[in-house]
Amino acid sequence: MLDTPRFTEITSTADIRASRHGSRAKCLQRLIRMDLPVPQTVALPFETVREVARGDMPDLHTLISLFDGQPLLLSVRSSSEMSDWGGPGAVLNIGMNDTAHAWLSNTLGHQAADALYLRFIKSFAIEVMRLDEEPFAEITTPAAARATYEDEMDEPFPQAIADQLGAVLRAMARAWDGTSARLLRQAQGAPAEAGLGLVVQRMAQGMGAGQSGAGVVQFVNPATGEPQVTGRYMGQAMGRDALLARDKALYLTEDPRGPSLQDLLPEVYQELIEIGDACRRRLREEMQVEFTIDQGRLYVLDAVRCPRESRASVAIAASLARDGIIPRSEALLRVPPATLSRLLHRQIAPSAEREVLARGVAASPGAAAGRIVFDSAAAQASDARDEACILVRRETTPDDVRGMHAATGVLTERGGSTSHAAVIARGLGLPCVTGATGLTISRRKREMRLPDGRVLSEGDMITIDGSSGEVMAGEVPTLEPALDGAFGDFMAWSDDVRDIGVRANADTVADATLARTFGVDGIGLCRTEHMFFDPARLTVMREMIFAESSTDRAAALERLLPMQRDDFTELFTLMAGLPVCIRLLDPPLHEFLPSEGEGERALAAALDRPLSEVKQRGAALREYNPMLGMRGVRLGVAVPEIYEMQARAIFEATVAASRDGAEVVPEIMIPLVTARREVELVKRRIDAVAAAVQAETGTRFNFRLGVMVETPRAALRAGEIAETSAFLSFGTNDLTQMTYGLSRDDAGRFMSTYVNEGVYPEDPFQTLDIDGVGELLLLGAARGRQARPDVTLALCGEHGGTPEAINFCRLAGFDYVSCSPFRVPVAKLAAAQCTILATRTAK
């Protein structure tokens, strides 16, 4: 490698690299190559700055001699490799001393010269020499500032520009090594050894005679990304002054609210517009430009990537691609997938003030404000009054689902990212915060105690942010979702490149409709139990569970059959030939039991049985450990009539939906399998039902029977299980729970401690644990594929919507991932990004 000079003047041909001099230095070179009026600039590479921090200064006299003209005033700005990594703030007017002050008093006038000198002494004292701000706060003259400096430092204020510059470079180099700067940049993904470059630039004065001032301009609206010139300009100002004193600054474009730069200096304004356009084309980005007008003449001091909110980042990338400035693949790579999720939901307005009352797990994205309600009945009453409400519960059960339908958001004291509340809320697209530590909820007293001891009552207004996990006081302003043209482009372009399927976990027609609008490849998981939570169906379901004789059970199932058939017919018709994977009943039956008290009384009335009998039967069905109890395929083996009814409903719906055209090939999935024999038992019965329905209807159809791999044993025995399974779909929620032996409903309580203590790098229910659970997936996939090479492999746990899991599944050769409908856009973009990056690496 060539020795890098200790500093280099930035010219159009100089060897300036972002990886050596930082992105600001590189950007300035690009501006110079575009012939923009950039003041003379010298770049110090990372290595030189490291040496400066160690006390080895480059030859500053030679550096200074590269600049011509008198008096010489310089600025120093930081230039890290990626602009997001930050860096110490700029120091302006280096070189201000008694001589420069006298000279500027003659040329710019006393006032301007005093202001410059005062400003420099203060910033040198506070930002460079780290003196306390306080003694300088009231000072208004350079002489007084100098005296205070000399008092505090016990040495004269440095007059030589080399001394001043040396001190500035040293202070900035050392600030980069400070702990807080290091932590901040590491949070942005910077490596531990990330370097800092510095750029030393001749000051273009925005103070003094004629039209002089400084401003900042950008050419798109930072919230929407739509073309719009925004920013401010202020006369007799420097750097970003105009943004700090907005009420004294001018608008840029003509504006009814006050005077503008366009009125004042139309040619300069026009020049700025052309610069914006040139930057967009040549730098392939929307830039924010910092400029100075020195006696009517425009200088471009700096340009950075225009700051933007989620919606704008999608709109800008899409518009650059549509205009042919960047390829579509580049546009897709520029937007982090999670950004799309923010577009689908209301968001807290970034500028909104908020009082955070508590924090929990960000369980389902989006923000919602509403009055607190403590149960489903109150939620429904509130909904009937057209009043937004937040359902606040210790944790939710199936009984709360109707309340969730009526609420605008859900907050629970317990639970994590895959607890009942979280899974249902994500399916409904409802903002949800679970496991809000420190909250104590009393439904009886209808109040909620906050971590600081304050108490909120039913009817009090709160806002929850399911994207950050925050619970806030009152109604915090939010931004509307934004599914505009740019969003549609992103979906279509992602579909063009991705090479792994993305299906949706959809239980209802509403979910499936939403999934279709996002253009899914099918339904990867229809959790049939969710179809029974409708109050009318719940009663029949309970009758079935409470049946003591098989005749009574058959009678209840007979009533459930047409309901299920209608559900499936609607789903198949809606999905029009796309695959639909229906999971047979999974949860422990007790989840359908009535709550104690009122629920039990209502059921006794519906069944026309004594309350004591209902209580007794309920108690008999309760299990110590229901998630490991009588659920999933165990139910199918022990009470086979339930799965038979479901299979019949699926097949009859297949026949009904196929009549309208598109061939329907249903997929039936058996949950919680642990052994081959379970699959064989269920398969035999399902095959018999299929044969019966074909004979009864005189219609032939195909179907695929597969297994949900969600117990460690199923992953280990995937070889023999695959022999009777057309597909293996990994349920990583239960698989994570069982691999860790960690309750998905309770882990929220201590997960943050675990993550903070570094026990787990992340909550494994949110981010797939590649090392442990991932190994089981690889093992299961390999054994399954070896036994049956054409076996379809999928992942349908909540992780299916996360970029890490998608990348993992793609590399492992899975056919598709499946996730809640609202995560589909994120999953599609993440899948497209994996493919693009993999193709680039392969080239």
- What is the rounded CA–CA span in Å between residue 313 and residue 307? 9
Q: How far is the CB of 186 from ligand PEP (least distance, A)?
A: 32
Q: Does 706 sit near Mg ion (CB under 5 A)?
A: no
Entry field: residues in the chain: 843
The answer to whether 527 is annotated as binding is: yes
DSSP, res 40 = P
Burial of 732 (0-12, 13-18, 19+ CB in 10 A): buried
Out of 437, 467, 732, 802, which residue is the one contacting ligand PEP (CB under 6 A)? 732
Which one, of 495, 526, 481, lies nearest residue 825 by Cα? 495
- What is the rounded CA–CA span in Å between residue 395 and residue 745? 9
Paired strand residues for 47: none
Name the phi and psi angles at 533, rounded to 5.
Answer: -85, -10
Name the phi and psi angles at 193, rounded to 5.
Answer: -90, 15
- What is the rounded CA–CA span in Å between residue 800 and residue 805? 6
Q: How far is the CB of 808 from Mg ion (least distance, A)?
A: 19
Tokens of 501: 């399927």
Out of 458, 507, 710, 763, which residue is the one contacting ligand PEP (CB under 6 A)? 710
Which one, of 467, 253, 503, lies nearest residue 359 by Cα? 467
Residue nearest to ligand PEP (CB): 731
8 Å CB contact between 52 and 169: yes
Out of 286, 399, 734, 745, which residue is the one contacting ligand PEP (CB under 6 A)? 734
Q: Rounded to a whole number, what is the distance in angstroms from the first to the last CA of the chain?
A: 25
Nearer to Mg ion, 215 or 731 (CB): 731
**Contact residues for 205 (Cβ-Cβ < 8 A; gap 6+):** 73, 108, 212, 238, 292, 294
Identify which range of 377-385, 558-566, 731-739, 808-816 contacts ligand PEP by CB under 6 A.
Answer: 731-739
* CA dihedral for 613, 632, 738, 757, sign (positive or negative): negative
Nearer to Mg ion, 544 or 714 (CB): 714
Out of 731, 764, 780, 825, which residue is the one contacting ligand PEP (CB under 6 A)? 731
Enumerate residues 615-644 that contact ligand PEP by CB under 6 A: none
Nearer to ligand PEP, 142 or 797 (CB): 797
Enumerate residues 202-261 that contact ligand PEP by CB under 6 A: none
Burial of 616 (0-12, 13-18, 19+ CB in 10 A): exposed
Residue 732 binds which of Mg ion, ligand PEP, none (CB < 5-8 A, kind-dependent): ligand PEP
Tokens of 514: 């939403």
Q: Does 710 sit near Mg ion (CB under 5 A)?
A: yes
Helices (H), 73-201: 98-107, 110-123, 142-153, 161-177, 179-187
Residue 202 binds which of Mg ion, ligand PEP, none (CB < 5-8 A, kind-dependent): none
Residue 197 binds which of ligand PEP, Mg ion, none (CB < 5-8 A, kind-dependent): none
Residue 32 binds which of Mg ion, ligand PEP, none (CB < 5-8 A, kind-dependent): none
Q: Does 820 sit near ligand PEP (CB under 6 A)?
A: no
Burial readout 711-721 (b: 16 or more C-beta within 10 A, e: otherwise): bbebbebbbeb
Q: How far is the CB of 486 from ligand PEP (least distance, A)?
A: 32
8 Å CB contact between 16 and 51: no
**Residue 388: what residue type?**
A
Residue 346 binds which of ligand PEP, Mg ion, none (CB < 5-8 A, kind-dependent): none
How many C-beta atoms lie closer than 10 Å to residue 829's C-beta?
28
The answer to whether 733 is annotated as binding is: yes
DSSP, res 178 = S
Out of 415, 797, 821, 825, which residue is the one contacting ligand PEP (CB under 6 A)? 797
Residue 783 binds which of ligand PEP, Mg ion, none (CB < 5-8 A, kind-dependent): none
Out of 93, 288, 658, 733, which residue is the one contacting ligand PEP (CB under 6 A)? 733
Nearer to ligand PEP, 495 or 746 (CB): 746
Total residues contacting Mg ion by CB under 5 A comes to 3
8 Å CB contact between 207 and 239: no
Q: How far is the CB of 813 from ligand PEP (least distance, A)?
A: 20
Identify which range of 32-40, 458-466, 612-620, 733-741 contacts Mg ion by CB under 5 A.
Answer: 733-741
Which one, of 99, 148, 103, 100, lies nearest residue 121 by Cα? 148
Q: Which of 21, 101, 405, 420 is catalytic?
A: 420
Q: How far is the CB of 754 from ligand PEP (least distance, A)?
A: 21
Identify the helix (H) or strand (E) that includes residue 652. Answer: helix 640-658
- What is the rounded CA–CA span in Å between residue 737 and residue 353? 38
Out of 796, 817, 824, 832, which residue is the one contacting ligand PEP (CB under 6 A)? 796
8 Å CB contact between 165 and 76: yes
Identify which range of 210-218, 589-597, 676-684, 730-738 contacts ligand PEP by CB under 6 A.
Answer: 730-738
Q: Is 440 left (phi over 0), alpha (psi -120 to 50) or beta?
A: beta
The answer to whether 732 is annotated as binding is: yes
Burial readout 558-580 (b: 16 or more C-beta within 10 A, e: otherwise): eebbebbbbbbbbbbbbbeebbb
Q: How far is the CB of 612 from ligand PEP (least distance, A)?
A: 33
Q: How far is the CB of 219 from ligand PEP (least distance, A)?
A: 46
Nearer to ligand PEP, 456 or 805 (CB): 805
Out of 231, 469, 731, 821, which residue is the one contacting Mg ion (CB under 5 A)? 731
Q: What's the Rg (C-alpha) of the chain?
A: 33
Out of 375, 458, 734, 798, which residue is the one contacting Mg ion (CB under 5 A)? 734
* CA dihedral for 831, 832, 834, 838, sign (positive or negative): positive
Q: How far is the CB of 418 from ligand PEP (least distance, A)?
A: 6
Q: How far is the CB of 708 from ligand PEP (least distance, A)?
A: 7
Identify the helix (H) or strand (E) that includes residue 76. Answer: strand 74-80
Identify which range of 248-256, 515-523, 730-738, 762-770 contacts Mg ion by CB under 5 A.
Answer: 730-738
Nearer to ligand PEP, 148 or 733 (CB): 733
Nearer to ligand PEP, 216 or 796 (CB): 796
Nearer to ligand PEP, 305 or 631 (CB): 631
Nearer to ligand PEP, 527 or 785 (CB): 527
8 Å CB contact between 145 and 139: yes
Nearer to Mg ion, 594 or 632 (CB): 632
Identify which range of 242-250, 254-262, 266-274, 732-740 contacts ligand PEP by CB under 6 A.
Answer: 732-740
Q: How far is the CB of 683 from Mg ion (least distance, A)?
A: 20
Residue corresponding to tokens 């500027």: 104
Is residue 796 among the annotated active site residues?
yes
Nearer to ligand PEP, 45 or 435 (CB): 435
Total residues contacting ligand PEP by CB under 6 A comes to 11
Enumerate residues 396-425 that contact ligand PEP by CB under 6 A: 423
Q: Which of 279, 526, 796, 834 is catalytic?
A: 796
Enumerate residues 508-527 that contact ligand PEP by CB under 6 A: 525, 527
Is residue 279 among the annotated active site residues?
no
8 Å CB contact between 203 and 67: no
Residue 279 binds which of ligand PEP, Mg ion, none (CB < 5-8 A, kind-dependent): none
Name the phi and psi angles at 461, rounded to 5.
Answer: -90, 130
Number of Cα atoms under 13 Å in the Cβ half of residue 470: 16
8 Å CB contact between 223 and 309: yes
Q: How far is the CB of 571 from Mg ion (least distance, A)?
A: 20
The residues binding ligand PEP (CB under 6 A) are: 423, 525, 527, 586, 710, 731-734, 796-797
Query: Which residues participate in the annotated binding site for Mg(2+)?
Result: 710, 734
Q: Which residues bind Mg ion (CB under 5 A)?
A: 710, 731, 734
Residues forming the active site: 420, 796
Q: Which residues are annotated as a binding site for substrate?
A: 527, 583, 710, 731-734
